[in-house]
Amino acid sequence: MTSRLNLTFLIAAFLFSTFIYSVNLWFSTSGFYLLLATVFLLLVIVFMKKSIGITLTADFKSILIIILFMFSIFAFTLNVEDVNGFLSLAMWVNRFAMFLAPILILLYFIKKSDKTILYKILKNKFLLILLISFIIQLSLIRIVKVPNIDVYQVLRYGPLRLVSLQNPYETAATNSQFEVKNFGYSHFAYGPATILLFLPFDLIFHEPRYLLIVANFLAAISLYKISMRFWSDQEISQIISLIYLFNPRQFSFLTFSATDVLITSLFFLGILFFLNRRYVLSGIFLALTVSVKIFYALPLLFLLKNENFANKKIVLAGILAFFALHLPFALLDWKAFYKSIVTINIGGASFAQIQRFSLTFSTFIDRQFHYYPPQFVFPLLAVISVIVFWLLIPSTVNLAKMLTIIGLVFITTIFLGPIGNSNYYFTASQILLLAIAASGSKKLIHV
């Protein structure tokens, strides 16, 4: 997995997966072929055993700098919210910060300078860009104070019901005696970890998106620390972490409260604790990851394809943490709990309407042949694909290859599953970025 060719393919797969939804927020033929290209490259990486006789002279550091530079521009131009003729103070600050970001990123092409001021800027460019990213994210949620999306209402009001000793999963969608207006949201579609993690931010700041900002920077710091274990060049580690922060879809997801940035952060922390041999913490954070969206447990099972993750402490801590999070809500009202996080998310009239516009295999069949499969087909296809991959893919001790395998399974199960939203593919692409972080040539005692 450390070969230059594999790393080149992995970077290409990361870029393809990043831009699956850049053309259109819903199903598009362009996105479909970008997805196919991603899967093809990942299959090559996972199953190619022999060299194909190609010699590369790629300068990966320069490639990563260019990717970061282009991401910063795309993030600027594809920004979620813009207003003609009226700019609030927050928008002025936001746009100026986004203007500065690409300029500062170009400093990574400069090795040194004899000028005192420029020398100090070069020395601290990573911290300066991190500060710029923080300003961008903070100002974004001031531009759009209350996004017009149900996810925000769920995260804003759902966790607070715990303070009143109420079950967030008991809503109008799960119990006929309740009305939507009672709670400000229709149903709580996320796992119990979401409730516990968002609750302090709802109580203290009255704004759930502050947690997403914290999660973004925890993910970036984790990427940096993981990269430092595999790459001998500190600047490459900095660039990889900044690529995460300036992902073109990152700011959109923050504005509209997508929980996938939280999932990414928890997963990265779980991997970081694993590398630091903090196995109990690793198991807990991996359990927290699947306790936000339980469907993500399927691809994450492939962590066990790495024998180092088949660790008793990791497995036991993960299982105990998972049950500690889920059991209280299951005991309170298991029907409401199951219906909220499983049944409603794979059925219902409103969900079915969204399904037919997302990027999945079934939507492609529907567009081409005007036939949409019944609902039971989706989980069946996803489970079959997981079983096939499990039987065909050999175990590995290489962390980067294991992460590539997870990325492959992740994207495939989303594509074959009931719904393929842009934030789902975003999570898969960030797992590939983590694989890039773990693909350096530095020799490790423990991988």
Mean pLDDT by 10 residues, the chain (447 residues): 78 92 67 91 86 60 93 77 63 90 92 80 92 94 86 91 90 75 80 95 94 97 95 93 93 88 96 95 95 88 88 93 94 87 67 72 86 82 92 91 94 88 89 94 47
What is the pLDDT at residue 307?
A: 84
What is the pLDDT at residue 430?
A: 95
Q: Which residues of 61-78 are buried (b: 16+ CB within 10 A; e: fewer)?
A: eeebbebbbbbbebbbee
What is the pLDDT at residue 317?
A: 95
Rounded-to-integer distance, Cα 335 and Cα 353, Å: 24
Closest C-alpha among 85, 219, 198, 89 to residue 145: 89
Q: What are the tokens at 270?
A: 């779980």
What is the pLDDT at residue 443?
A: 45
What is the pLDDT at residue 81?
A: 55
What is the pLDDT at residue 53?
A: 47
Rounded-to-integer distance, Cα 43 and Cα 10, Å: 10
Closest C-alpha among 40, 46, 93, 14 to residue 401: 46
- Percentage helix, strand, coil, to 5, in the chain? 70, 0, 30
What is the pLDDT at residue 111?
A: 82
Alpha helix (H) ranges present in 231-296?
A: 234-245, 250-255, 260-275, 279-290
